[in-house]
Amino acid sequence: MAITSSAKKAFRASKKKRVFNIRRKSAIEKQMKDFRKLIATKSKVEAVKLIPDLYQVLDKAVKTNYIKANTAARLKSRTMAALKKLV
């Protein structure tokens, strides 16, 4: 357990951040899972409708420093590539 007061404060802060990070992670995973499910069933129209929500979640994760900008860009690129394969 933390001994110094600054370590105790850092521990409290990390507990709070953990809640937000878990929430952000589950939001990303849910959107990606839904998108992959639509790609697997070849539902292009529904997948196109899901793209703005997916982009929003990824951009918010970058803004809050949950993931890096390049990671979000890579995920966006791969989702669009998967969507274009459905033609």
- The CA distances from residue 19 to 12, 15, 22, 25, in Å, are 12, 7, 5, 10
Contacts of 10 (CB under 8 A, 6+ apart): 2
| pLDDT confidence bin for 53, thresholds 50/70/90 | very high
Average pLDDT of the residues in 37-53: 95
Are 67 and 32 within 8 A, CB to CB?
A: no
Domain boundaries, the chain: 18-84
What is the maximum alpha-carbon separation in the chain? 60
- What pLDDT, on a 0 to 100 scale, did the predictor assign at position 7? 94
Q: E-assigned strands of the chain?
A: none
Average pLDDT of the residues in 35-59: 96
- What pLDDT, on a 0 to 100 scale, did the predictor assign at position 1? 78
What is the per-residue pLDDT across 74-87, written as a single tens digit (0 to 9) for each?
A: 999 999 999 999 87
The CATH topology of domain 18-84 is Methane Monooxygenase Hydroxylase; Chain G, domain 1 (1.20.58)
Report the predicted TM-score, pTM, of the whole model to 2 decimal places: 0.86
